[in-house]
Amino acid sequence: MKVVILAGGSGTRLWPLSRQNSPKQVQPFLDDDTMLQKTYARLRRAFAAADVYVTTMRDYAALVREQLPELPPQNIIGEPCRRDTAAAIGLTAVRFYFRNPKEIIATVHADHFIDDEKKYLQVLKRAEDVVKKNPERGALIGVKPTKPETGFGYIKMNGQFFTLAEQKVFSVERFIEKPELAKAQEYISQWQYLWNPGYFIWRVDTLLKQYKISLPEHYRSLARINRALATPREQETIEREFNKIKPIAFDYGILEKADNLLVLPANFVFTDIGNWRTVKDILTSDKEGNVTKGEAVALDSADNLIYNFTKRPIACVGLNNMIVVATEESTLICREDCAQDVKKVVEKLKEAGREEYL
């Protein structure tokens, strides 16, 4: 099985550290290693370097090579432009199909924090075995909920299952968008609901058949790309056809339309590092509840995230439940409960033509 790290996002909610030329996946949020480096190191515990791939924006390929010097250069799949995850995964599938139509691929995210790496890797390996025995079906990994979470999508399993190497495998009944709190509280008390972390395992010929059914326009462009691979027209065709594709997420374009999916329930905890509040929640705080990085002084202040990437000290007095992030170019100050709205700052700067800060 080949494991593909999805690393093409922009991470606007993590501005000002995450920026257009150096997005969140190549930034060190939790310690000195970047999210991409952490994900790669996690996978290398169970997979050879030759079996790990990264799909990212072509503009980020040099950063990926710099951060993952062990990764073979040909294992970086460059997307010519941003067209969402259905296009990115489709392009990846075509490249593998060209070499081996029966190749199994797993897609994982560059920006996830995993609490139990052993369980995570174990269920990935089991998913590979499931797809080997069920090549006409795609497999997902679902995580058993530990709290009524409204920030994740859910997978509903039906009652049919089989067991493979002590792993129960269920059929997927349906997908549920991020629910209201009352619904999330219902789901946590019912065995058939799982969080959807977005880990997908398919044989590439089966996956491309699903594109043909569910996203025929994507499929036509991908088929043209496939015919041009290893010819003088390869780059020109990828550029033209990928740009034609209408952006849509893989979940909406493929998963929600498929009727033959399997899901493996798992017990590890994952966190999508999507905003500054999630960064704060993961890290260990001091006795006042402050999480700091870099030179920072906090007086009569509690429950703050203070990240300083400059050589100048940051001083906070009487500050509570705030996020303060300083880089050499920009500074963010916001209430913790407004962390999701940081992307609006990026939109405002873009409207104002302040590209140098994006």
Per-residue confidence (pLDDT) for residue 225, from 0 to 100: 98
For 339-351, give one letter per residue: b (16+ CB within 10 A) or e: beebbebbeebee
- The pLDDT of 66-75, averaged and rounded, is 97
Q: What is the pTM of this model?
A: 0.94
- The pLDDT of 205-226, averaged and rounded, is 98
- The pLDDT of 6-19, averaged and rounded, is 93
pLDDT higher than threshold 90 for residue 164 = no
In percent, how much of the chain has pLDDT > 90?
A: 91
Q: Is the dihedral of CA 352, 353, 357, 358 positive or negative?
A: positive
- The pLDDT of 119-129, averaged and rounded, is 97
* The pairing of beta strand 154-164 with beta strand 322-326: unpaired
Gyration radius of the chain's alpha carbons: 21
Per-residue confidence (pLDDT) for residue 224, from 0 to 100: 98
Domains contained in the chain, CATH given: 2-272 (3.90.550.10), 276-357 (no CATH)
pLDDT higher than threshold 90 for residue 151 = no
Q: Which of 6-20, 147-161, 212-226 has the highest mean pLDDT?
A: 212-226
Joined tokens for residue 267: 């017990």
In this predicted model, what pLDDT tens digit does every residue of 264-285 receive, in sequence order? 999 998 999 999 999 999 999 9
7 near 52, Cβ under 8 Å?
Answer: no
pLDDT higher than threshold 90 for residue 9 = no
